[in-house]
Amino acid sequence: MDLLKTLVDKGLRRELPTRDEALAVLATSDDELLDVVAAAGRVRRQWFGRRVKLNYLVNLKSGLCPEDCSYCSQRLGSKADILKYTWLKPDEAAAAAGAGVAGGAKRVCLVASGRGPTDRDVDRVSKTIEAIKEQNEGVEVCACLGLLSDGQADRLRAAGADAYNHNLNTSEATYGDICSTHDFSDRVETVKQAQAAGLSACSGLIAGMGESDADLVDVVFALREMDPDSVPVNFLIPFEGTPLAEKWSLTPQRCLRILAMVRFVCPDVEVRLAGGREIHLRTLQPLALHLVNSIFLGDYLTSEGQAGKADLDMIADAGFEVEGTGTTTLPEHRVNGTDAASGCGAHAGGGCGAHAEDGGVCGSHAEDGGSHGGVCGSHGGGRGTCGDQERVAASAGEGTASGADAAEKASAGRPDLVAVRRRGAGTDLAPNA
């Protein structure tokens, strides 16, 4: 396909695709799926080889959140039968983190439900970070505590945090459909605060909440503009007792197309396969490793994941290797700021998402903005040497029907695969790692 050749060439140059090209990836047929995976896989291997980074979630405080995010089992008014507990003590959190590190995790993600932390909460989490770092040499720590107030990101950084997660989740245009207690701009501001404090930004999305293809492209382009180092891609876990409990609109094939689109738009960023992979990708999970270079090990915040040993076996059987603590995840140009291209990750400025322009699953908030103008792929339809736009636009138009067909096929859902976490943090049972 000419489309895929164009996208591979752009990915290897770290050049932004057009919006029409991104839409066309989502509109490809099931017959073309392996070609799409192979093409995006070339881009993934160019920047990350065959390495897979393992991340481990520790839910520091579960449930009873005052926010009303409709996808979240910890939301205000949730009737989901999840674990509910207040803050773990630093030694308890460090023990849980240690289990993940022993299982191969390179990064520990500390998550707490709530709108955002108080200063006392930041003190508490700072002690937890220090305990984890003291016991696990070389481990990365990412915090996900909700909306940050002035100075809190600096305090987390001073305590030893390496990264901060706060997801955008969906497009700005549809954000009000999933949450009314805060807005899209609040999330963007928190990511900017984390970046300004020198924390590595982690921000991603949730697919499967009823969004359109255009919404998916919008949020991924917004992420590209913010330039996070890590982009977690979550697939909605439709918990009973939440407003989206009946929202089963994803197929394994659809999930792979979404991951491929994210990889083409953010070629040199850590793309993380996050919550919902087991229930939506199911037996096609190994194919996703050709698109992403990072996954969560074991369980999630409130739901059970695949057994940690099964994750490790899957990685090995698919011909990939677990990334060690001595290996730098990101390509050299992102780490050192020596970016000559105008692609994703232009830390030194001059490109899409430069820091001067400027957080479910790794986080309940939900992890774990930006202008669309002035670059190829703007809302104006995209411009530049982007190939046959009429052909691409026609292909994207066909996606409306194929997307509807996919939703119809997925409508029965697999609620039998949604299991509430009953082990690990907040319990007396050993964690899954």
List of domains in the chain: 2-389+404-417 (3.20.20.70)
Q: Is 187 in contact with 168 (CB distance < 8 Å)?
A: yes
Q: In this predicted model, which residue has the larger pLDDT, 71 or 409?
A: 71
What would the pLDDT profile of 216-247 be if each residue is shown by its tens digit? 999 999 999 999 999 999 999 998 888 888 89
3-class secondary structure, 356: helix
How far is CA 416 from its chain centroid? Answer: 24
What would the pLDDT profile of 167-209 be if each residue is shown by its tens digit? 999 999 999 998 999 999 999 999 999 999 999 999 999 999 9
Q: In this predicted model, which residue has the larger pLDDT, 80 or 119?
A: 119
In terms of Cα–Cα distance, which of 185, 172, 177 is closest to 209? 177
What would the pLDDT profile of 24-82 be if each residue is shown by its tens digit? 999 999 999 999 999 999 999 999 999 999 999 999 998 788 888 888 887 878 787 77
The predicted model gives 243-270 an average pLDDT of 96
Q: Give, as one character, the DSSP assignment of residue 357.
A: G
To the nearest whole percent, how much of the chain has pLDDT over 70? 83
Strands 294-296, 270-273: pairing kind: parallel
Tokens 């009973």 locate to 240
Q: How many CB atoms are located within 10 Å of the residue 123 CB?
A: 13
Identify the pLDDT of residue 208. 96
3-class secondary structure, 204: coil
Identify the pLDDT of residue 65. 86
Burial class (CB in 10 A: 0-12, 13-18, 19+), 292: buried
What would the pLDDT profile of 339-370 be if each residue is shown by its tens digit? 544 445 433 333 333 333 333 333 344 444 33
Beta bridge pairs of residue 112: 61
Q: In this predicted model, which residue has the larger pLDDT, 370 or 286?
A: 286
- Of 88-102, 258-272, 410-424, give the lowest mean pLDDT range: 410-424
Stated pTM of the model: 0.84
In terms of Cα–Cα distance, which of 131, 160, 195, 124 is closest to 357? 195
Total residue length of the chain: 433
Identify the pLDDT of residue 160. 97
